[in-house]
Amino acid sequence: DGGITQSPKYLFRKEGQNVTLSCEQNLNHDAMYWYRQDPGQGLRLIYYSQIVNDFQKGDIAEGYSVSREKKESFPLTVTSAQKNPTAFYLCASSIGGAGQDTQYFGPGTRLTVL
Amino acid sequence: AQSVTQLGSHVSVSEGALVLLRCNYSSSVPPYLFWYVQYPNQGLQLLLKYTTGATLVKGINGFEAEFKKSETSFHLTKPSAHMSDAAEYFCAVRNSNSGYALNFGKGTSLLVTP
């Protein structure tokens, strides 16, 4: 089955700790995205990557970092610099960067700061 | 920049009644518009999208939306609500400045009552 997997489903972080969220896709998509979802806020773009070894900041990149060493993988690290990391994180991918391409979403990771 | 506004954070309908979820967009270029559905603690699933061509777009699960340029609207409708339609619905527009990421509305929670 082709799709996007995110792990873990639930993640708990202590204050001052860095954590990494995994996103893997086997759709052979070039473009990948990370969004953050807060209640009543919709989804906001953290980072995006249109091609391997290249990525760009989105609207709320502060306190986050990413890498894109392989086409199928786009991990997100939530650093201790992120002041309010508790949220639902969604990874998405699309064939390329064309406007009409559909974005497909993973099942999400819920991060809670203890 | 492109943006969307969803009117009504909560909508309640009776089973069998018409579903109407409102979305207005703002865009300086021809927009690519999307509707997604999200069930609790899950990722987003595409309902339908408008790119070019026919302005009445049919999607999955009996939903459809009409692109009206004169009204800058892309409202989502379904003739007869089912209990299984209860979910969060997001309208989104493609952002040509961010690798064609999506700019989302804040979402509308649909409640279906017996």
Size of interface A-B (CB pairs under 8 A): 77
Of A102, A106, A107, the CB nearest to B49: A102
Residues B73, B24 contacting (CB under 8 angstroms) = yes
Residues A13, A19 contacting (CB under 8 angstroms) = yes
DSSP string, B78-90: ESS--GGG-EEEE
Q: How far apart are CA B10 and CA A29, in angstroms?
A: 34
Tens digits of residue pLDDT in A35-72: 999 988 899 999 999 999 999 999 999 999 999 999 99
Task: Determine contact: B113 vs chain A, CB below 8 A.
Answer: no
Closest alpha carbon within chain B to A91: B43
Task: Determine contact: B46 vs chain A, CB below 8 A.
Answer: yes
Tens digits of residue pLDDT in B58-88: 999 999 999 999 999 999 999 999 999 999 9
Closest alpha carbon within chain B to A54: B99
Q: What is the pLDDT of residue A97?
A: 65
Q: What is the pLDDT of residue B99?
A: 82
Q: How distant is the Cα of B43 from the closest Cα of chain A, in angstroms?
A: 4
